[in-house]
């Protein structure tokens, strides 16, 4: 086992114990895990059935469907460059995909909301050569749709094959080549590759009723590669987790990776503890929201999870077809660190400068009789929230035209405008057509419907 000194001894021991328990109870040939905090690896460790041969942060494991998140990033880059719109039909950029598949939108494919089947037609794609499915028609089959498009989340491996082919069509290069050039090289992920590169783990199946093992095949997935081909390490995946939490202008900006985390389609009935965004899974663990992805292929299990608010990420990799619950372990590692050693708040500092006009807008505003407060944030944005009870709170970002756009909650995408009287003084705030005034039903302000001429009164009417 190895670990840094960034965590207290008690925390490190708790992490080690959780990993050791997972390997022993899950009967995994080996299991390696690592935690990232404050932008660097804070702890790493491994357990193995072979004394003296524990994998480390440089040992490759196959990561299965975590590959989908890489493919989603490539598609979002195409969107940010203006080469496609997420609402575009696939057929627009990938001609020949047919009347059923071709009408699905890029957004639906990214969020598994297109209604496609979960798997390819037989034979089992994970255990057969990719040459078995030489064309996209071999991947989607004769009856590709089993649900109405856009109505619910239904996980689809063929959907991400289509997205990989879309990337190739618009870039004029192989999916693997685009991936290396646009994500892996900028982020310094030189141990993430389509094919295994030593040192790497071998994949194993462990007998369910006896302590014996069977080697698993490691097939090249061909067209299915964008759905699950990659090999990677805990070190590389922690670097990728940091990017997914904060963005990196060399790859994808913070706003676009945040967009990937937003739920894209309604979950299946009863599955309200989790959701799926654009290539990213989201789950609730207590009062904490975790993002990331899990992956599996014959002989391997993998999970990457991160908490944006706690600035903690965890990666767990194992070379077993089934057994250790890598997703549960990764979530537990985040909880151990975040609960035992909470993130230190940044020290308060005054703003370097302030716009006098904005400062004058801060303070209480009334929507009818409900009082809200407008606050100027350190990043130059605004925060608007109720002062009493539960209500609609939101943050806003300035637009060049002097208006503000909502970033979250009920007012996400809505416009906040400062409405002035003829003499230039502020009359009211218009938020998505709702009028907010400095006093409850301010008679001097332009309030739709007007204000009773006799004003406020007591019980004696």
| Helix or strand (DSSP H, E) at 63 | none
Does the pLDDT of residue 378 top 90, yes or no? no
pLDDT, the chain, mean: 94
Confidence band, pLDDT 50/70/90 cuts, at residue 342: very high
Confidence band, pLDDT 50/70/90 cuts, at residue 172: very high
Q: What is the pTM of this model?
A: 0.90
Q: What is the mean pLDDT of residues 100-110?
A: 96
Q: What is the mean pLDDT of residues 121-136?
A: 92
Does the pLDDT of residue 270 top 70, yes or no? no
Query: What's the confidence (pLDDT) of residue 266?
Result: 76
Q: Which of 5-9, 140-144, 356-360 shows the lowest per-residue confidence on average (mean pLDDT)?
A: 5-9
Q: What is the mean pLDDT of residues 83-108?
A: 95
Confidence band, pLDDT 50/70/90 cuts, at residue 111: very high
Does the pLDDT of residue 449 top 50, yes or no? yes
Does the pLDDT of residue 388 top 90, yes or no? no
CA distance 203 to 213: 10
Confidence band, pLDDT 50/70/90 cuts, at residue 2: very low
Does the pLDDT of residue 409 top 70, yes or no? yes
Confidence band, pLDDT 50/70/90 cuts, at residue 461: low
Residue 17: other Cβ atoms inside 10 A: 11
Per DSSP, what are the bridge partners of residue 434?
431
Does the pLDDT of residue 157 top 70, yes or no? yes
Q: Which of 196-210, 255-269, 395-409 shows the lowest per-residue confidence on average (mean pLDDT)?
A: 255-269
Torsion from C-alpha of 439, 441, 443, 446, nearest 10 degrees: 100
- Here the tokens at position 143 are 């009856």
Query: What's the confidence (pLDDT) of residue 52?
Result: 80
Residue ranges per structural domain of the chain: 9-340, 356-436
Confidence band, pLDDT 50/70/90 cuts, at residue 339: very high
Query: What's the confidence (pLDDT) of residue 271?
Result: 63
CA distance 278 to 263: 8
Tell me: the pLDDT tens digits for 189-232?
Answer: 999 999 999 999 999 999 999 999 999 999 999 999 999 999 99
- Tell me the C-alpha to C-alpha distance, in Å, between residue 317 and each of 48, 53, 201, 300: 12, 15, 10, 8
Does the pLDDT of residue 3 top 50, yes or no? no
CA distance 398 to 403: 6
Query: What's the confidence (pLDDT) of residue 1?
Result: 37
The string of DSSP codes covering 185-248 is: HHHT-TT-BSS--SSBPPPEEE-TTSS-EEEPP----GGGHHHH--EE-HHHHHHHHHHHHH-B
- Asked if residue 231 lies in contact with residue 184, where contact means CB atoms within 8 angstroms, the answer is no
Does the pLDDT of residue 391 top 90, yes or no? no
Q: Which fold would CATH assign to domain 9-340?
A: Beta-lactamase (3.40.710)
- Asked if residue 405 lies in contact with residue 414, where contact means CB atoms within 8 angstroms, the answer is yes
């Amino acid at each position: 086992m190895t670990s840094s000194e960034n965590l207290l001894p008690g925390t490190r021991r708790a992490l080690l114990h959780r990993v050791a328990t997972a390997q022993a109870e899950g009967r995994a040939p080996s299991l390696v895990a690592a935690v990232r905090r404050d932008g660097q690896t804070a702890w790493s460790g491994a357990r193995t059935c072979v004394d003296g041969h524990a994998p480390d942060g440089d040992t490759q494991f196959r990561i299965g469907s975590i590959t989908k998140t890489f493919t989603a990033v490539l598609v979002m880059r195409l969107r940010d460059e203006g080469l496609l719109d997420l609402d575009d039909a696939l057929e627009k950029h990938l001609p020949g995909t047919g009347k059923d598949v071709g009408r699905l939108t890029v957004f639906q494919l990214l969020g598994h909301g297109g209604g496609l089947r979960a798997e390819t037609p037989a034979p089992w794609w994970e255990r057969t050569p990719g040459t078995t499915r030489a064309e996209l028609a071999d991947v989607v089959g004769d009856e590709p749709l089993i649900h109405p498009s856009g109505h619910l989340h239904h996980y689809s491996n063929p959907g991400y094959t289509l997205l990989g082919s879309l990337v190739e069509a618009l870039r004029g290069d192989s999916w693997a080549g685009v991936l290396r050039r646009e994500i892996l090289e900028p982020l310094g992920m030189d141990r993430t590759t389509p094919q295994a590169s030593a040192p790497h783990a071998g994949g194993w199946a462990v007998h369910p009723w006896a302590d014996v093992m069977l080697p698993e095949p490691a097939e090249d997935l061909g067209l299915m590669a964008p759905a699950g081909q990659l090999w990677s390490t805990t070190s590389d995946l922690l670097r990728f987790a940091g990017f997914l939490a904060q963005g990196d202008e060399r790859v994808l900006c913070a706003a676009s990776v945040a967009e990937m985390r937003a739920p894209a389609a309604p979950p299946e009935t009863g599955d309200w503890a989790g959701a799926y965004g654009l290539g990213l899974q989201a789950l609730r663990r207590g009062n904490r929201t975790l993002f990331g992805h899990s992956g599996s292929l014959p002989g391997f299990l993998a999970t990457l999870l991160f908490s944006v608010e706690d600035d903690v990420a965890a990666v767990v990799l194992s070379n077993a077809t089934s057994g250790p619950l890598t997703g549960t372990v990764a979530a537990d590692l985040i909880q151990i660190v975040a609960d035992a050693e909470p993130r230190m708040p940044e020290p308060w500092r005054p703003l370097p400068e302030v716009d006098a006009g904005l400062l004058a807008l801060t303070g209480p505003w009334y929507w009818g009789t409900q009082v809200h407060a407008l606050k100027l944030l350190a990043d130059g944005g605004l925060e608007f929230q109720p002062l009493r009870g539960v209500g609609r709170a939101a943050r806003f970002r300035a637009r060049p035209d002097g208006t503000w756009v909502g970033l979250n909650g009920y007012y996400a995408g809505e416009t906040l405008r400062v409405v002035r009287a003829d003499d230039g003084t502020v009359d009211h705030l218009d938020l998505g057509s709702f009028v907010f005034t400095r006093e409850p039903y301010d008679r001097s302000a332009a309030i739709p419907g007007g204000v009773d001429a006799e004003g406020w009164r007591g019980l004696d009417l």
